Amino acid sequence: MSDDETLRVYQARAEDYARLNGDSQALARFMASLPPGARVLDWGCGPGNQAKILLQRGFDVDPVDASAAMIAIARDRKGLPARLARFDDPLPGPYHGAWVSFSLLHAPRADLPRHLRALHDALAPKGVLFLGLKLGTGEGRDALGRFYTYYTRAALLAHLADAGFAPFDIEERTDAGLAGRREPALLILARKIHA
């Protein structure tokens, strides 16, 4: 994450965020696409809800977040090896999978290609990326002050193709997050297709 105001919101609302459950169906599809014991990056892990499930299912998980409050919950309450880092920090791959669930939407649009290339480089051959983002156009702040970048389906698929990913599972739906507002979202599983 690169937006300080967004980071302040997550610092202040870490306890509230820890009570959200996330998406178990998308996580199940992601886990099913990975080999047993795979090394998985949870990039923007928050309080570690999904990372904990990955760990319990036998995956070697690397939970990463930019919020110290989120990392403290992940470490202290969930026993995760969570570490503090931002999107521009190096990724110590290789990973078999990357779970990037509604975290890159806080990065400016101009940064998305660079972040997708970093994920591509950190993934092993044929590695799997889960990417969850909000559908729409433009950039702006929500009622809590968090910065969001919205993408159309076509634009996001083009960014993934340019970064060397081939989607194999795409779901559009409406979700409500921490602010409680229901918004359309796009959930994508994509495979790394070239080195």
Residue 192 pLDDT more than 90? yes
Under the banding of pLDDT at 50, 70 and 90, the label for residue 5 is low
Residue 157, both tokens: 């698929």
Strands (E) across 109-164 are located at: 123-134, 139-141, 147-149
pLDDT of residue 24: 81
In order of their start, the domains of the chain are 1-17+24-98+114-134+157-170 (3.40.50.150)
Tens of pLDDT along 136-187? 999 988 777 778 899 999 999 999 999 999 999 999 988 766 555 677 999 9
Residue 57 pLDDT more than 80? yes
pLDDT of residue 1: 54
Residue 167 to residues 40, 125, 190, Cα–Cα distance (Å): 18, 15, 4
Percent of the chain whose pLDDT exceeds 90: 67
Q: Coil, helix or strand for 30?
A: helix
Burial class (CB in 10 A: 0-12, 13-18, 19+), 111: middle
Contact yes or no for 142/181 (Cβ under 8 A): yes
173-182 exposure pattern, b = at least 16 Cβ within 10 A, e = fewer: eeeebbeeee
Tens of pLDDT along 71-106? 998 999 899 999 999 999 999 999 999 999 988 988
Helices and strands per DSSP (H, E), number in the chain: 7, 9
Tens of pLDDT along 7-25? 665 555 555 555 666 558 9
The alpha carbon of 95 is separated from its chain's Cα centroid by a whole number of angstroms, namely 14
Contact yes or no for 7/66 (Cβ under 8 A): yes
